[in-house]
Structure 1
C-alpha cells in the first residue's frame, strides 16, 4: 500500500510539472486581436491561426519587422488585406 501511494504521488507531481511547463505551440498563439490593421506595403508575410485546441481564437497573423500583429479574420479590412497579399504572393 505504501509503494502504491508513493507511485501515485510521484505520478501526480510529474503530471503537474509537465502541465506547468511552457508550451511552445501555445506561446505563439494570438490571445486577442489588435485594434489596428497594418498597411499592405510593410507586411513581410502572414499566416492563418486556427482555433484547433492549441490556440483559443482564429486569427490572421501578420509579420512586420519580426513582430506579430493579430487581426480578426472576420474584419472586412483584414479580408481585403489577405486577398491583396494572396494576389501578391501568386505573382511572385
Structure 2
C-alpha cells in the first residue's frame, strides 16, 4: 500500500512540473538580423506577436512558403524585430500586396 501511495505521489509531482513549465510552441524567442532576398519573395503573410501570456518579446512572425514536396503546402515562420527598418519596409510592401 505504501508503494502505491508513493507511486501516485510521484506521478502527480511529475505531471505538475510538466504543466508548470509553460508552452513556447507559438512564441518567438529571438530575432533574425537579416533575411535573404530569395526568402523575402516567398513571404505569404505575417502575424504580430505581443508580449502577453507566455511570449516574452514583441515580434513580427513572417509565414514563409516552402516548396511543396507532397500534396500539401508547407510553411515555416521567421521572427523579426518590428523596430528594424527592413522589417517595416517588408510589412509596408506586404500590406499593399495583400490589399490587391
Does TM-score exceed 0.5, indicating one fold? yes
Q: Which residue of 2 aligns with 1:55?
A: 55
Q: Which residue of 2 aligns with 1:88?
A: 97
Is the 1:72–1:78 Cα contact (8 Å) retained in structure 2? yes
Structure in which a larger fraction of residues adopt helix: 1
Question: 1:70 pairs with 71, 79, 96, which one?
Answer: 79
Q: Which residue of 2 aligns with 1:18?
A: 19
Instruction: Please give the TM-score of this superposition, normalised by the length of structure 1.
Output: 0.71
SS in 2 for 1:30: coil
Write the deviation string for residues 17-50 of structure 1: whole angstroms up to 9, x where unpaired.
4214x62xx2111100012235442102111111
Q: What residue ranges of structure 1 are gaps of 5+ in the alignment?
A: 1-8
Q: What residue ranges of structure 2 are gaps of 5+ in the alignment?
A: 1-8, 67-74
